[in-house]
Structure 1
Amino acid sequence: MSRLDGKRVAILASHGFEESELLEPLRALREAGAEVEVVSPAGGTIQGMRHFNKGRTVEVDRTLAQADAGDYDALVIPGGLFNPDALRHDDSAIRFTRGFFEAGKPVGAICHGPWVLVDADLAGDRELTSVPNIRRDLENAGAHWVDREVVVDQGLVTSRTPDDLPAFCAKLVEEIGEGRHTGQARSA
């Protein structure tokens, strides 16, 4: 596994994130040497979910108002049903997400996380995957949806469900280690 010493990664999340889809990438990225911050529309703590049951809460390191995509080397958007649905309707979250694509920085999204990419107009002409029940939303946005545990398209790493977290985390570390992806901004 490549080392991510000196790399800063933002995990964009709000209340209702799928617990494992935030905590597992957080652990994997930190173990690889990255500095990871949880960024959210509001400060304090955010409530995680284990599917439809409450899970752990997580401290927010920085609010969206305090965060700038330029301060980070990569972005991770965990899924869960509620988290991406709230983020995709938040203009600050959309601007923050676009900033990573405009700079060609790696972005990871799992489960329902790619919904944020749809509302940010970043899914078009991308090969990606997600939880199957948002497949049509992604295809309607111009994405080429495939059913694989992990898909990488010019620095965009996507996966379907918590079962895919080992592959998702490994590819995130790899893509962040590689750095900038010149083709990343093509859909922005």
Structure 2
Amino acid sequence: MKVAFLVAPEGVEQVELTEPWQAVRDAGGTPTLVSTKPGHIQAFNHLDKADTFKVDTTVEEASVGDFDALVLPGGVANPDFLRMDEKAVAFAKGFFEAGKPVAAICHGPWTLVEADVVRDRTLTSWPSLKTDIRNAGGTWVDEQVNVCRGGGNVLITSRKPDDLKAFDDALVSEFAKVRQ
């Protein structure tokens, strides 16, 4: 299973990138870091700079067809930068159009709001996104993790770093079904 992790050049919450990344690896999958620019991305621990990570490919070079699933880590700045990049938004939307599973945590669903793919779906997120999700036609719930099946694909969402264990378990379980 090849999984794209879509992140902006800076602003991703490090633990929301590294823990799902490791969960995919531990399940035998191949995570790939996709960003809007080549080089390295700057991760954060909340508002403090953390580690940097090498970009494997850019949204300009990548194709949805190259991957089995998508993960959208959070961080406040990361999805805000992504939603302003047309190619990043189109890349995320492409997974929905292809019927492939998508997982998003914390502020990650902002990119999905911009892609206009939350309508008629139930999802969770960091609480400040509740109004944006509802305004985009989605149903927001306050749950540790939510798995929404509908619209031709599976959407796994979670609220925050404290929910990572449940998020990782759900995304690994749902992504594994793609191989069956």
**What residue in structure 2 maps to residue 164 of structure 1?**
163
Pair 1:46 & 2:45 matched:
no
**What residue in structure 2 maps to residue 137 of structure 1?**
132
2:105 aligns with one of 101, 104, 110:
110
Pair 1:11 & 2:26 matched:
no
**What residue in structure 1 maps to residue 78 of structure 2?**
83
**What residue in structure 1 maps to residue 115 of structure 2?**
120
Q: Is the 8 A contact 1:128 1:144 kept in 2?
A: yes
Partner Cα distance (2:178, 2:60) in 1: 25
- State percent identity of aligned pairs: 52
Q: For 1:66-101, what per-residue CA distance to the aligned partner results, in whole angstroms no more than 9, with x for missing partners?
A: 100111000000000000000011110111111110
Q: Which amino acid aligns with 1:53?
A: D
- What is the deviation of 1:30? 0.4
- What is the deviation of 1:127? 0.4
More strand by share: 2
**What residue in structure 2 maps to residue 74 of structure 1?**
69
Q: Is the 8 A contact 1:13 1:40 kept in 2?
A: yes
Partner Cα distance (1:38, 1:104) in 2: 21
Runs (4+) of structure 1 exceeding 4 A deviation are: none
**Tell me, what secondary structure is at the counterpart of 1:85?**
helix
1:59 aligns with one of 54, 76, 97:
54
Partner Cα distance (1:133, 1:102) in 2: 27
Figure out how many residues of one structure are paired with residues of the other and give that number: 174
Partner Cα distance (1:101, 1:157) in 2: 12
Q: Which amino acid aligns with 1:71?
A: D
Q: For 1:4-44, what per-residue CA distance to the aligned partner results, in whole angstroms no more than 9, with x for missing partners?
A: xxx10000001100000000000000010001100000011
**What residue in structure 2 maps to residue 186 of structure 1?**
none
**What residue in structure 2 maps to residue 23 of structure 1?**
18
Gaps of 5+ in 2: none
Q: Which amino acid aligns with 1:127?
A: T
Q: Is the 8 A contact 1:70 1:99 kept in 2?
A: no
Gaps of 5+ in 1: 1-6, 181-188
Q: Which amino acid aligns with 2:156?
A: V
**Tell me, what secondary structure is at the counterpart of 2:38?**
coil
Q: Which amino acid aligns with 1:60?
A: V
Partner Cα distance (1:58, 1:163) in 2: 22
Q: CA RMSD in A?
A: 0.9
- What is the deviation of 1:114? 0.2
